[in-house]
Structure 1
Amino acid sequence: MFGTTKFRHLVGAAAAALAVSASAAFAYPDGPVNYIIPFNAGGESDVTARYQQPYFKELTGQDLIVQYLPGAGGAQAWSGLNGYNGDGMTIMGTNLPHIILQPMLQDPGYQTDDITNVYMFHFTPDALLVRNESPYQTVQDVIDAAKENPGSIIAGGTGTNSANHVANQLFMNETGVETTYIPYSGTGATESGLLGGEVDVLWGYTTVAARQADSVRMLAVATEERHPLFPDVPTFKELGINMVGGAYRGIAVPSSTPEDIRQQLSDLIGKINENPEFRARMEADGYALIDVPYQEMDDFMAERKAAYEKVAEQLNSHN
């Protein structure tokens, strides 16, 4: 039989081994990680990065430092992604459909396949919004005004060939109206544009309506069913407009990043997504969480690329 002292030594050794094993699972990172957001502060990409920060610190003991590199609808940052050191200490937010549509329709300085996505972690449904004092009470009001004077309705959104731009194009295709689309550098800027009266309507997301509360009115949402935070807001499909879509957001690394670091980062973001507090906070703000880890990314991207090809043709025909 083991003596009490020997048993305690064995238990202690086993506990130490478990601790080493647990820490080894997240040996990366070994210092603060720079998290580059390709848009201005205040948009969904920034907000969710800020939400991720404390959980990243809790899991790794390291800081997640959010930085901004806006320009060209995100292309300025994405075109430079592979110029960073692939040691995992610099990561970057990515957005769909941006990183698929931009290379399809222009030369943004990168190709979709240049972007090494390791995780897609949330989705925000498209929504059509107006200022609370706007004369437009319904989507039909917007359609009627646009038909009466084609091009007179000024619609704001984030960048060209973005989820917002896609939504505006689909809306025009579905309803036969013509709007004038004004691209902004990020969601935060679009909100200021709407509230400041620079645009008549805004292609935003459910998150904008949640954040702005009584300052804006959401006319419709591009989901299959009504959003639980906004049970009184109809879907476009209810109104006879076949629109279901929005923006996906994830995290990418430079292409020189080793496979093991890609996988560890993917696992980290997955663990953050699993956290009940994080999930509750995201969902209360109108986000819909998704989980596409690194090992499933190729299939996911191929599926989205196929879905956006038709939209790309439509956008191109109106550019």
Structure 2
Amino acid sequence: MSAVMILVTVLGASAQAGYPERAVTYIIAFNPGGQSDVEARRQQPYLEKTLGVSVQVQYKVGGGGSVGWAELAHARPDGYTIAGINMPHIVLQPLQRGDAGYETDQLRPVAWFQNTPIGLAVLRSSPFQTLEDVIAYAKENPGALTVGGSGTFSGHHLATTQLEKLAGIHVTYVPFTGAAPQVAAFLGGHVAAAMGNSDDLVQHRDRIRVLAIGSEQRFEALPDVPTFRELGFEMTPSIDRGVAVPAGTPDEVVRTLEEAFLEIVRTPEVRRQMVEQGFAPLEMGADEAQAYVDRRKQEYMELLRNLGQL
């Protein structure tokens, strides 16, 4: 190896060993006040303490998250730009849209730290008392029922499409730029129903009626709500949240970030807050997180083929 190559290698290793040395930008691809933002803000002080630098949350909203993830995919792979990511969004969007602006393999997951089951809900004032009522109405009035969700080719969109296919119905899916505007529109009566995140369903349970939930078993915070499976529909819709860096980011940098995020999710107070708010904590490091993405991509491709969407 030449002296120049040795010098470059040493300098590169030294730079990585000193990571981070300046502020880290944490991209959130959805509106302020939504679940991704809530979690990033919860993590922010812990990250700053662990990493020893400022962590600046930056919003890049649009395209159901694709605007922010496209920016991450094309950012310099040095660990100074990270982004919150969502499953199934980061898999479905590149599969379904030619203009997503990124490919799944351009995002390197650092960790998955949270799971959020998706449920179908209506307002307390709605005439629909059960999921069966909704399905009966949708069969008699194809396309008349509006169902709000966050983004297109997202967890909410997929859940709505699955239910349509399994129940033999057609509804009108109404996408919003994030969970915060989705919930506001739903509570304001601008859509008849919503595919909502479990924390929103828990937070607003006094004003809404949750008809079914996408957890494997009854969800602890909503014990009286049946699962879709209980009601005869083989679907368990949910959204996983994590964090990623651009592909090509050095392993040493990924490990530093991985340790920081896993330390947060292991913190008893953080876990307590998550559960109380209607989230399920996850603890999945970088290698496991990547294997999870690869596995889910194959599952979603098969599901989309079965739904006639691929």
TM-score for both structures, normalised by structure 1: 0.87
Residue 145 of structure 1 corresponds to which residue in structure 2? 137
Q: Deviations over 1:138-168 (max 9, x none)?
A: 1111111111111110011111110001100
Residue 163 of structure 2 corresponds to which residue in structure 1? 171
Seen in structure 2, the aligned counterparts of structure 1 residues 305 and 209 have a Cα distance that, compared at 3 Å, is same
Contact kept in structure 1, 2:92 and 2:153, CA below 8 Å: yes
> How far is 1:315 from its partner?
5.4
Measure, in 2, the Cα distance between the counterparts of 1:311 and 1:166. Answer: 10
1:38 is aligned, of 14, 23, 29, to: 29
- The answer to whether 1:232 aligns with 2:228 is no
Residue 117 of structure 2 corresponds to which residue in structure 1? 125
| CA-atom RMSD in angstroms | 1.9
Measure, in 2, the Cα distance between the counterparts of 1:40 and 1:149. Answer: 33
Measure, in 1, the Cα distance between the counterparts of 2:190 and 2:93. Answer: 25
- The answer to whether 1:243 aligns with 2:235 is yes
AA at the equivalent of 1:303: R
AA at the equivalent of 1:143: I
Seen in structure 2, the aligned counterparts of structure 1 residues 72 and 135 have a Cα distance that, compared at 3 Å, is same
Contact kept in structure 2, 1:166 and 1:315, CA below 8 Å: no
Residue 89 of structure 1 corresponds to which residue in structure 2? 80
> Secondary structure at 2:205's aligned position in 1?
helix
Measure, in 2, the Cα distance between the counterparts of 1:217 and 1:51. Answer: 28
Q: Deviations over 1:13-53 (max 9, x none)?
A: xxxxxxxxxxxxx9643333221101111211111111112
Residue 288 of structure 1 corresponds to which residue in structure 2? 280
Measure, in 2, the Cα distance between the counterparts of 1:100 and 1:316. Answer: 17
Measure, in 2, the Cα distance between the counterparts of 1:182 and 1:44. Answer: 19
Residue 304 of structure 2 corresponds to which residue in structure 1? 312
Contact kept in structure 2, 1:82 and 1:256, CA below 8 Å: no
Measure, in 2, the Cα distance between the counterparts of 1:149 and 1:189. Answer: 26
Contact kept in structure 2, 1:105 and 1:316, CA below 8 Å: no
2:94 is aligned, of 103, 112, 121, to: 103
Residue 9 of structure 2 corresponds to which residue in structure 1? none
Which has the higher mean CA deviation after the structures are superposed, 152-161 or 215-224? 215-224
> Secondary structure at 2:22's aligned position in 1?
coil
Residue 272 of structure 1 corresponds to which residue in structure 2? 264
> Secondary structure at 1:218's aligned position in 2?
strand
2:176 is aligned, of 184, 192, 196, to: 184
Where do 1:210-229 residues align within 5 Å? 210-229=202-221
Where do 1:72-83 residues align within 5 Å? 72-83=63-74
Measure, in 1, the Cα distance between the counterparts of 2:80 and 2:209. Answer: 41
TM-score for both structures, normalised by structure 2: 0.90
